[in-house]
Structure 1
Amino acid sequence: MTYDHIVSDVDGPVCRITFDRPEHLNAVSVEMWEEFREALLAAEDDPDVRVVLLAGNGDAFCAGDDIQDIRDLASATEVLEYCEYIREASGTIERIATPVVAKVDGIAYGVGCEIAGLCDVTIATEDASFSLVEPKIGVSSLNGLFRFPDLIGTKPAREMMVTARTLDAAEAHRVGLVSAVATDDEVDDVVADRIDEIVESAPLAVELSKRLVNGEREGANEAVTVLANTFLSEDRIEGTSAFLEKRDADWQRD
């Protein structure tokens, strides 16, 4: 299938999905979310595909959600629908039985950081960087709220969410966000080794293990509510405006 914002290619047991908006640092628009979800489900439905590999085209893995989409949200209904859609689309990574491997080269910010964390295996280059940057534009994270405490531990997740600071690849590996770090020259070999190890494992055992480990967890609805409330705030309006206008945000506290 041909997409406008991603590239999906199947080569033997591997489906490679590439975020393909390099001019926007692979920021995820609403259309890109839909294509991404469709490609993941298509990979799961393909009996020959044993592994999905995620990567980004250009200088970034994924810079987060498209700020223009966020800024254009007007009504409470639009906000809630958008937030629930992000939860559904991003959660597809964990819901499909097919293991998903991320190759992170460059920045993985906001939802890009969350996508990297949700994957079953995450390999980063030495110059990759990670941040739950959402508070800088006046909103909360989503998967950061209800998945990262389980994935990387409560303390590191708390710090990432309240500081929005950037972790380099080594620190991301230390806190468990990244499975391994490799040089630019070695990263493709490390990714290939992990893929080979998955393919050489029993398919049923791999799929059932992933389904059990990634079962539905409490907190998803609450995280959507928190995100929706921040989207409806004056902070979101000021934060997204400041980002697009390339200036510091002027936060107001009543």
Structure 2
Amino acid sequence: MDNSYGMLSVGVEDGVCVVTLDRPEKLNALTHEFWTDVVRLLDDAEADDAVRALVVRGAGDNFCAGGDIDGFGELGDIPARRRYQQLAMAAYRAWEVFPKPTIAAVHGYALGGGCELTMVTDLVVCDTTARFGTPEAAVGLMPGLGVVRGHANTNLHWLKLMIFTGTKLGADDARLAGLVTTVTEEGQHVEEAMRLARQAAQKPATALRVAKSILNRGSAEGYDYSVEATALLHSTDDQREGVAAFVERRQPAFRDR
């Protein structure tokens, strides 16, 4: 495997592929190139027999603050925005069906696309600093992956609270909601994620692959609808106003159009 895939730094340790979201100066916000880079990484990790499990973590003080809003204005017309959503959803889908066990090690913010990445990861370990949120409505959007797959693990009332109000869940509430498997003391999340990954790496790969495919059966439902809905939301006046307000650090004036 390569050592670098765009904003992703990669290494292999004890049969575990350790993927680091490595853009700490931007809170590890996801670039447009991330979606194709992560698919390439997953293809390489699947083909590498030395990789038996995968851990994803964030560099710096946070896991991931979501998509890079600064780039939203460059998406162009509705067809271009639809293509962007197709890339993003294809990457999430590839992450979800990756046949080897995946574990997210979360600290600090896991927001928007970062929170959604944890929703398609098999296990989620976080420390006490973690904050999970789906704030997309604040910029006139919805969590495209969150509305499709979030309810697979998360209590629906908690998920609606996050989407409708922008509420961020701390570590303990995230565990109650079903977003998180294990909560550790501050700074111990990567160590715990690696411990679980090493355990999984020792199990027969075929058995885990078959079990995972059955557990994820039916998970593709809703992906295509979400692409269309999110692409349309990207073209609304409210979305443009939400992004402008975010960049200008002011309250948005939504007009429901």
**TM bracket (short chain):** over 0.9
Q: Deviations over 1:124-182 (max 9, x none)?
A: 01010000111111111111111012221322222222112100011000111000100
Contact 2:53 2:198 in 1 (8 A): no
Query: For residues 225 and 140 of structure 2, what CA distance do their matches in structure 1 show?
Result: 18
1:43 aligned counterpart, secondary structure: helix
Structure 2: 5+ residue stretches without partners: none
Matches within 5 A, 1:3-152: 3-152=5-154
Amino acid at match of 1:175: A
Q: Deviations over 1:171-230 (max 9, x none)?
A: 000111000100125333322321122122221111111112123432111111221121
CA contact (8 A) 2:106 2:189 kept: no
Q: Distance in 2 between matches of 1:184 and 1:158?
A: 28
The alignment status of 1:221 with 2:224, answered yes or no, reads yes
Alpha-carbon shift at residue 122 of structure 1 (Å): 0.5
Amino acid across the alignment from 2:227? V
CA distance in 1: counterparts of 2:13 and 2:210, whole angstroms: 24
Judging changes above 3 Å, is the alpha-carbon distance between structure 1 residues 185 and 32 closer, same or farther for their aligned structure 2 residues? closer
Tell me how far apart the structure 2 counterparts of residues 94 and 31 of structure 1 sit (CA, whole Å).
19
> In structure 2, what residue type is equivalent to 1:121?
L
Following TM superposition, where does structure 1 have runs of at least 4 consecutive aligned residues deviating by more than 6 angstroms?
A: none
* Matched residue, 2:201: 199
- Write out per-residue CA displacement over residues 84-135 of structure 1, whole angstroms, 9 at most, x where no aligned residue: 1110012211111011110001100001000012110100010100001111
TM-score using structure 1 length: 0.95
Matched residue SS, 1:92:
helix
RMSD: 1.4
Aligned length: 254
Percent of residue pairs identical: 28
